[in-house]
């Protein structure tokens, strides 16, 4: 008899491309059938066959409080009873905006949207409008959502001209995206010098987390800041993952580097569709209706989403929260490190606070090239062993594990024990 998840996946594949509404969920990188999830509570999720998992995906980052946090649930219920959307201004929008502006040093004014994709796409449009320049620079292995000009990482095409990663992206458009190497200041300098007065903005994940977690080298972000200022280009931090994750004020607080524009998403919606872009007031005044850069959204700033965001940020503002996240992350890292050593597996663990990736490579992992050197087969075997033991990791080597405030020390110790099993030679041939 097929499991319920197998039956549901069968049906979904006849209705949705790949049976999913976002590609990685289909388990293509690891094989097998994705468990269909029925509910979540705290650190746990439960699938359609009644199996329980300790969850390290957390909806890919937003659920830093854990699943179904009562503060968020109550806020959403109260909001829903008063009407889900008006397409008119509400006080809730200003309340969440104020929380974000008070938290994130570089943001003086912001606009709410409904996805990280929209936030990054709009920030780029505003940067182009403000500078009257067309080209942008992004980094290989950084993800900024699926807008046309950002779905570019320059594969074998080299570093000069953007090569689209997706069919359907016109190469004429992708050509406006120049691709530099993460943690490589010289690659940035070369592109700026070869494209004098043409680069509107550099967009970067200040801590890369979409090729697995790759923290910035100490000199990297300050150097990119200096270079953008010297060349009249704007610096855009994509803090969709790092915002309210690596510190309350995001990576810009942690590293003391101030971008011109910042993209936020994930955590600021507390599990509902919210994202935002914001920054210097003079730049944000380019946005309609104040200025000529058009951007709009039917459900932008809707009360359900704003309420979930407000409840989440208020919870994160409580004292000691980021120390607890650091301690939980450090406990997981130390345990995984010991398990990897004892099993003689060559694994490179990168962590910043509560985000972590165990790369199946000796490392060090500092950029896209060193990340993709990871052994995907060893990862897939590890992933499936963990899943069987009730540990739900992202189904790809090139993603982060997210620890939440709902993960207890026991949850983490159980995870480490499972990793020890998964890494034993019986399960994964050594590497």
Ligand X SMILES: *Cc1c(COP(=O)(O)O)cnc(C)c1O
**Interacting residues with ligand X (CB under 6 A):** 115-117, 120, 143-145, 205, 210, 238, 240-241, 265, 275
Given 143, 182, 255, 392, which residue is catalytic?
Answer: 143
The number of angstroms, rounded, from the C-alpha of 363 to the middle of its chain's C-alpha atoms is 22
Given 238, 260, 367, 411, which residue is catalytic?
Answer: 238
Task: Please state, in angstroms and rounded to a whole number, the distance separating the CA atoms of residues 338 and 288.
Answer: 54
Given 47, 55, 138, 266, which residue is catalytic?
Answer: 266
Angle at 259 between CA 302 and CA 119, to 5 degrees: 30
Residue 110, SS3 per DSSP: strand
Task: Please state, in angstroms and rounded to a whole number, the distance separating the CA atoms of residues 281 and 302.
Answer: 23
Q: How far apart are CB 365 and ligand X at their closest, in Å?
A: 17
Q: Give 347's contacts (C-beta < 8 A, 6+ positions apart).
A: 336, 340, 358, 359, 360, 361, 423
Please choose, from the candidates 236, 401, 250, 403, the residue with its C-alpha nearest in 3D space to the C-alpha of residue 313: 250
Residue with nearest beta carbon to ligand X = 116
Q: Is 138 one of the catalytic residues?
A: no
Name which of 122 and 385 has its Cβ closer to ligand X. 122
Q: At what angle do helices 303-316 and 91-103 cross, to 10 degrees?
A: 30
Name which of 233 and 394 has its Cβ closer to ligand X. 394
Task: Please state, in angstroms and rounded to a whole number, the distance separating the CA atoms of residues 45 and 170.
Answer: 40
What tokens appear for 362 in the block? 């000796």
Q: Is 413 one of the catalytic residues?
A: no
Name which of 165 and 285 has its Cβ closer to ligand X. 165
Burial of 311 per CB tally in 10 Å (0-12, 13-18, 19+):
buried
CB atoms within 10 A of CB 34: 21
Q: How far apart are CB 273 and ligand X at their closest, in Å?
A: 7
Q: How far apart are CB 242 and ligand X at their closest, in Å?
A: 8
Task: Round to the nearest angstrom and report the end-to-end CA distance of the chain.
Answer: 36
H helix and E strand count, the chain: 14, 14
Find out whether 9 and 33 touch, Cβ atoms under 8 Å: yes
Q: How far apart are CB 425 and ligand X at their closest, in Å?
A: 35
Q: How far apart are CB 144 and ligand X at their closest, in Å?
A: 5
Name which of 8 and 120 has its Cβ closer to ligand X. 120
- Backbone dihedral region for residue 94 (phi beyond 0: left; psi -120 to 50: alpha; all else: beta): alpha
Q: How far apart are CB 263 and ligand X at their closest, in Å?
A: 7
Q: How far apart are CB 423 and ligand X at their closest, in Å?
A: 27
What tokens appear for 97 in the block? 């905006």
Evaluate the CA torsion angle 71, 76, 82, 85 in order and state its sign: positive
336 vs 176, 245, 348, 370, CA distance in Å? Answer: 42, 21, 10, 20
The number of angstroms, rounded, from the C-alpha of 73 to the middle of its chain's C-alpha atoms is 23
Q: Is 102 one of the catalytic residues?
A: no
Name which of 117 and 357 has its Cβ closer to ligand X. 117
Name which of 241 and 340 has its Cβ closer to ligand X. 241
Name which of 22 and 156 has its Cβ closer to ligand X. 22
Q: How far apart are CB 393 and ligand X at their closest, in Å?
A: 17
Name which of 266 and 407 has its Cβ closer to ligand X. 266
The number of angstroms, rounded, from the C-alpha of 22 to the middle of its chain's C-alpha atoms is 14
Task: Please state, in angstroms and rounded to a whole number, the distance separating the CA atoms of residues 239 and 119.
Answer: 10
Could you give the residue numbers annotated as active site? 143, 238, 266
């Amino acid at each position: 008899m097929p499991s319920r998840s197998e039956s549901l996946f069968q049906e979904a594949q006849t209705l949705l491309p790949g049976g999913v509404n976002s590609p990685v969920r289909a388990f293509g990188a690891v094989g097998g059938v994705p468990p269909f999830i029925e509910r979540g509570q705290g650190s746990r999720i439960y699938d359609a066959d009644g199996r329980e998992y300790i969850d390290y995906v957390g909806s890919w980052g937003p659920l830093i409080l854990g699943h179904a946090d009562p503060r968020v649930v109550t806020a959403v219920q109260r909001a829903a009873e008063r009407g889900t959307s008006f397409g008119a201004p509400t006080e809730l929008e200003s309340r969440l905006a104020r929380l974000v502006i008070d938290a994130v040093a570089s943001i003086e004014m912001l606009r709410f949207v409904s996805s990280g994709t929209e936030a990054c796409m709009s920030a780029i449009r505003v940067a182009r409008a403000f500078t009257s320049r067309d080209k942008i620079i992004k980094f290989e292995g950084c993800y900024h959502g699926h807008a046309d000009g950002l779905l570019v990482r320059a594969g074998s095409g080299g570093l000069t001209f953007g090569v689209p990663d997706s069919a359907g992206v016109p190469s004429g458009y992708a050509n406006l995206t120049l691709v530099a190497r993460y943690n490589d200041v010289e690659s940035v300098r070369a592109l700026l010098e070869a494209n004098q007065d043409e680069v509107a903005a550099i967009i970067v994940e200040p801590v890369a987390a979409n090729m697995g977690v790759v923290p910035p080298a100490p000199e990297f972000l300050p150097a990119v800041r200096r270079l953008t200022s010297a060349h009249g280009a704007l610096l855009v931090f994509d803090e969709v993952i790092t915002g309210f994750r690596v510190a309350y004020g995001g990576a810009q607080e942690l590293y003391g580097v101030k971008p011109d524009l910042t993209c936020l998403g994930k955590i600021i919606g507390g599990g509902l569709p919210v994202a935002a872009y914001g920054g210097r007031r003079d730049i944000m005044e380019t946005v309609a209706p104040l200025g000529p850069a058009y951007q709009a959204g039917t459900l932008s700033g809707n009360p359900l989403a704003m309420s979930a965001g407000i409840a989440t940020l208020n919870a994160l503002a409580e004292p000691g929260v980021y120390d607890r996240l650091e301690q939980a992350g450090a406990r997981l890292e130390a345990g995984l490190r010991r398990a990897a050593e004892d099993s003689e597996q060559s694994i490179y663990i990168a962590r910043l606070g509560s985000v972590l990736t165990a790369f199946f490579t000796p490392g060090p992992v500092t950029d896209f090239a060193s990340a993709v050197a990871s052994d995907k087969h060893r990862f897939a075997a590890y992933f499936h062993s963990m899943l069987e033991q009730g540990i739900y990791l992202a189904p790809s080597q090139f993603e982060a594990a997210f620890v939440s405030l709902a993960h207890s020390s026991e949850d983490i110790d159980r995870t480490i024990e499972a990793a020890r099993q998964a890494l034993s030679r019986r399960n994964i041939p050594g590497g």
